[in-house]
Structure formats: structure tokens, C-alpha cells
């Protein structure tokens, strides 16, 4: 596709990339062999799977920072906390800019270059902007970023500045700014790299492909992920459907999307659909709240796609409190793994789903940690020192708090502190 198009001219819905019928025999071997290669495209955990996302006619447009290639990590302690016998994290925080956005951004940036664009833009709760800034600058494009002022972590803002993005902090929330920028992009001809961009979704599909490749194509029972704008849920569902159609896998895992309680319009929608009350129509949360700022989104644009993927995979949507996210995050930390707040919604959600009997304790579960622990150090310090606060419910209890200890420059005193 060489038109700049995000929405269907007929129905107004978001565009989805569709490919002609493909023969996937030999792909698994080819993909495995590429791990031995030193070619940049083969070393990328996105472009290694390029047959699965063949939208680009010329590889020279690709900007790669060797994205993807993220590990599957066993986490027995987190499993126990979540009420499971075993749990594996697919840690997208190992990406070059520290989040899963890099998987999609390498594709979005390639498409922008293919279209001959000079400037790219996004509205972001932080990670998309960090990623876009990096890939745009690496690929000779000018990044322009719009952020909800005061509502993104410093780690993410710092990345945008360091990677050279024109950074505009707007006094409005994510949903309001996105609506405005969608209009602006058409008027001033900037290429939008939010997840309304279908090529970003194509790139994010590889998170599922790489996971299956790493598991030698053994399909898990569940894939758990946090839900914000719902681009990732859409990408995962599409990837799983396509892998099934192509015969790469023999069944679908169930998707479990977890939202923060104060920003959970998709949870409410799926509840309403299950109860059979009315048409499937999302009611936006006008003032979304959560300390997990990455998923502080009240009007997720990709909800129709995500709803479809939940239905197709027999999936579920759960919501969790701020306290639950904070404690789950500390547990992920204690595993020596760590993640940012939004990512920890997965483990908090798993704990609820096993308690409710939706997820069996012997289920084979992969939870996707979407962002690196260093994305939001301020949150961590506040939690461990007992000063993390959430507007509507006050202080978060540091149930697993591990505050630093102040000591005088005194050997005996320090020795006593070590022995506690």
C-alpha cells in the first residue's frame, strides 16, 4: 500500500493489512537458520520473520536497531504469586528503547521512508514516543512528539529528548491529543506512527511469532498482556490467526487483556457484551486514571479489532487495582526480572483469573512484560519508600517495600545494618 491511509474510506474503521494466500512450508527452518546470520535484517527479531509481514517491496527502507530478540524468562516466584504452577514472561523490555513499541516502530519507520515522508509524529503515553524518536532519528526522519503534560514518566520523556524529537507537551489527556493530532496530520501532511498505523501492528505481530519460535511452536494455553490503546491485543490476535491459517500452529491460545481499574473501558465493554446488554459499543472513560501511565487511556482506538481478537481466541478481559499492580510489580522485581507498572498488570490479572477459576493453576501461561524496569524509577522509589499515592484511594501500601537505609560513616553501625 502506498497511500497514506489509516481509516477505511467506506466504513471509517481502522485499516488492517491483508495478504494474498501464502505457502509457509520451509519458513520455520529458514527463520531458525537466520539466527546464525550476521546480516542486520536477520539479526532483527522482526525482520527475521519478514515472510510473515511482506508489505515492504524494498528492504533498503528498513531501519533496524536489532529490535525483538527478547527472552522468554521462567519466573517461579511470580508463578506462585499468580496462583500458577509455572509462568513464563516474554520480556519486551529487552528491546533497544526498552519496550515492545520497537517491534512495530521498525515497520512504521520503514513504511514512512518507503512513502518518502520527512516528518513522522505520534501522540504517546511515553513508550511510543521514545521508540519513534529513536527509529526516526536513526532513519533520517524528523520526529514530532505530542505528550500529555505531566502524565508520562521521566525516563520516557528523557528518551524522546535524547533521541532528538521535537517534543510538545500538551495540557490534555492522551485521547484528546490523539483526536486532535489525527486531524492535524491530514492538514499538515505528517505521517502518523500511532498504533492506528497498520504497519506498526504488522511489526508487533512478530512478538507472537518469536514467542512461538522460541517455544518450538508449542502453543501456550494463555497469552496475557496489558491493554491501553489495544494495538498490541489487535496485533497478537492477528498474528495468532495468521499463524493458524498458515499451518504454523495447530490451535490458538486464549488472550487475556488486563486493564487498570481507572482506565478500563474495554473491560466494561466485554462485560456488557458477555451479559448481552446492548450493541458492542465502547463507552470511553472521560477522565482515565492510573499510576501505570503507559495505559492511562480512556478511549482506545483499536477496540473493534481487539474485541474481534478476544472473541476469536476465546479470550477474557480483566481489570486490576493500583494496589494490585504495585504489588505484582514488586514481585516481578523480586524475580530479578523487573518491569514498568503497566506490564505488571499482567501478573496482577493472572492472580485474579486463577482465584476466579478462569485460569487453571496448571495452565501453560506466557505473560508479556511490555516495558523495562528503568522506564519509571520514580514509581519504584515511591513504592518502596511508602509514599506512592493514587488520587482516589490514597496511599499505596508498600506490601513488599524495600526502602534504602541511611547510615552514618561508621563501620560498627553499618555492620549492624547488614545483619538484620
Nearest-approach distance from CB 252 to ligand F0G, in angstroms:
19
Closest to ligand F0G by CB, 111 or 128: 128
Q: Which is nearer to ligand F0G, 27 or 316 (CB)?
A: 316
Residue 228 as a binder of ligand F0G (CB under 6 A): the answer is: yes
Residue the block writes with cell 519507520: 109
Q: Of 269, 324, 338, give the one whose Cα is nearest residue 291.
A: 324
Per CB under 6 A, 229 contacts ligand F0G: yes
Q: Measured on CA atoms in the order 63, 65, 69, 70, is the torsion positive or negative? A: negative
Can you tell me the distance from the alpha carbon of 223 to that of 240, in angstroms, rounded to the nearest whole number? 11
124 near ligand F0G (CB under 6 A)? yes
Nearest approach in angstroms of CB 247 to ligand F0G is 27
Site for ligand F0G in 100-119 (CB under 6 A): 101
Among the candidate windows 38-46, 159-167, 227-235, 269-277, which touches ligand F0G by CB under 6 A? 227-235
Site of grid cell 499538515? 188
Q: Is residue 342 close enough to count as binding ligand F0G by CB under 6 A?
A: yes
- Decide: helix, strand or coil at residue 259: strand
Q: Does 95 bind ligand F0G (CB under 6 A)?
A: no
Burial zone of 266 (CB within 10 Å; 0-12 exposed, 13-18 middle, 19+ buried): buried
Q: Does 253 bind ligand F0G (CB under 6 A)?
A: no
- Distance separating alpha carbons of residues 248 and 242, to the nearest angstrom: 9
407 CB burial (10 A radius; 0-12, 13-18, 19+):
exposed
Phi/psi of residue 259, each to 5°? -115, 155
Show Cβ contacts of residue 413 under 8 Å, excluding neighbours closer than 6 positions: 407
Q: What span, in angstroms and rounded, lies between the C-alpha atoms of 126 and 154?
A: 9
Among positions 138-167, residues that touch ligand F0G (CB under 6 A) are none
Answer for which of 175, 213, 327, 340 binds ligand F0G (CB under 6 A) is 340
User: Which lies closer to ligand F0G via its Cβ, residue 70 or residue 127?
Assistant: 127
List of residues 6+ apart from 276 with CB closer than 8 A: none
Q: Is 99 in the site for ligand F0G (CB under 6 A)?
A: yes
Rounded least distance, CB 411 to ligand F0G, Å: 43
Is 231 a binding residue for ligand F0G by CB under 6 A? The answer is: yes
Q: Please, are residues 367 and 83 in contact by the beta-carbon 8 Å criterion?
A: no
Of residues 82 and 371, the one with the C-beta less far from ligand F0G:
371
Considering the complex, state which of residue 331 and residue 369 has its C-beta at the smaller distance from ligand F0G. 369
Q: Closest Cα partner for 337 from 81, 83, 129, 159? A: 81
Minimum separation from the CB atom of position 364 to ligand F0G (A): 22
Site string for ligand F0G, 356-395 (x = CB under 6 A): --------------xx------------------------
Strand ranges across the sheet with 166-170: 166-170, 142-148, 119-123, 191-192
Residue 128 within binding range of ligand F0G, rule CB under 6 A: yes
Nearer to ligand F0G, 103 or 195 (CB): 195
Among 148, 203, 227, 349, binds ligand F0G (CB under 6 A): 227
The stretch near ligand F0G (CB under 6 A) out of 82-90, 220-228, 248-256, 387-395 is: 220-228
The CA–CA distances, whole Å, from 204 to 67, 199, 294, 387 equal 11, 9, 17, 36
Smallest separation (angstroms) from ligand F0G to the CB of 124: 3
Residue closer to ligand F0G (CB basis): 27 or 367 = 367
When asked if residue 230 is in the footprint of ligand F0G (CB under 6 A), the reply is yes
Contact 254, 366 (CB under 8 A): no
> For ligand F0G, how many residues bind (rule: CB under 6 A)?
23
Residues near ligand F0G (CB under 6 A) are 99, 101, 124-128, 195, 226-233, 294-295, 340, 342-343, 370-371
Amino acid at each position: 500500500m502506498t497511500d497514506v491511509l489509516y481509516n477505511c474510506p467506506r466504513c471509517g474503521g481502522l485499516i488492517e493489512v491483508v495478504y494474498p494466500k501464502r505457502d509457509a512450508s520451509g519458513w520455520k527452518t529458514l527463520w531458525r537458520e537466520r539466527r546464525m546470520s550476521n546480516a542486520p535484517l536477520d539479526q532483527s527479531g522482526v525482520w527475521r520473520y519478514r515472510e510473515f509481514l511482506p508489505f515492504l517491496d524494498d528492504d533498503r527502507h528498513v531501519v533496524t536497531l536489532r529490535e525483538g530478540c527478547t527472552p522468554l524468562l521462567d519466573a517461579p516466584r511470580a508463578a506462585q504469586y499468580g496462583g500458577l504452577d509455572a509462568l513464563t514472561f516474554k520480556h519486551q523490555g529487552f528491546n533497544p528503547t526498552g519496550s515492545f513499541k520497537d517491534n512495530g516502530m521498525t515497520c512504521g519507520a520503514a513504511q514512512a521512508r518507503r512513502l518518502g515522508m520527512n516528518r513522522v509524529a505520534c501522540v504517546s503515553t511515553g513508550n511510543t514516543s521514545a521508540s519513534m524518536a529513536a527509529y526516526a532519528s536513526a532513519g533520517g526522519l524528523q520526529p514530532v512528539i505530542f505528550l500529555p503534560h505531566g502524565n508520562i514518566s521521566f525516563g520516557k520523556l528523557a528518551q524522546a529528548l535524547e533521541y532528538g524529537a521535537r517534543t510538545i507537551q500538551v495540557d490534555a489527556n492522551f485521547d484528546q491529543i490523539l483526536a486532535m493530532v489525527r486531524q492535524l496530520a491530514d492538514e499538515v501532511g505528517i505521517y502518523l506512527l500511532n498504533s492506528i498505523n497498520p504497519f506498526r501492528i504488522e511489526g508487533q505481530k512478530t512478538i507472537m511469532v518469536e514467542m512461538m519460535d522460541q517455544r518450538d511452536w508449542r502453543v501456550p494455553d494463555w497469552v496475557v498482556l496489558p491493554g491501553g490503546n489495544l494495538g498490541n491485543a489487535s496485533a497478537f490476535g492477528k498474528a495468532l490467526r495468521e499463524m493458524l491459517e498458515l499451518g504454523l500452529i495447530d490451535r490458538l491460545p486464549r488472550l487475556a487483556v488486563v486493564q487498570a481499574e481507572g482506565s478500563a473501558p474495554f473491560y466494561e465493554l466485554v462485560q456488557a457484551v458477555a451479559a448481552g446488554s446492548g450493541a458492542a459499543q465502547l463507552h470511553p472513560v472521560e477522565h482515565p486514571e492510573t499510576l501505570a501511565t503507559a495505559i492511562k487511556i480512556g478511549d482506545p482506538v483499536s477496540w473493534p479489532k481487539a474485541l474481534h481478537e478476544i472473541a476469536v481466541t476465546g479470550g477474557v478481559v480483566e481489570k486490576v487495582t493500583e494496589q494490585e499492580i504495585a504489588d505484582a510489580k514488586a514481585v516481578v522485581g523480586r524475580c530479578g526480572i523487573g518491569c514498568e507498572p503497566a506490564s505488571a498488570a499482567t501478573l496482577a490479572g493472572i492472580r485474579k483469573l486463577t482465584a476466579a477459576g478462569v485460569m487453571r493453576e496448571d495452565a501453560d501461561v506466557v505473560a508479556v512484560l511490555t516495558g523495562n524496569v528503568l522506564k519509571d524509577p520514580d514509581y519504584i522509589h515511591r513504592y518502596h519508600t511508602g509514599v506512592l499515592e493514587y488520587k482516589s484511594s490514597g496511599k499505596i501500601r508498600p506490601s513488599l517495600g524495600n526502602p534504602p537505609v541511611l547510615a552514618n560513616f561508621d563501620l560498627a553501625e553499618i555492620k549492624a545494618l547488614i545483619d538484620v
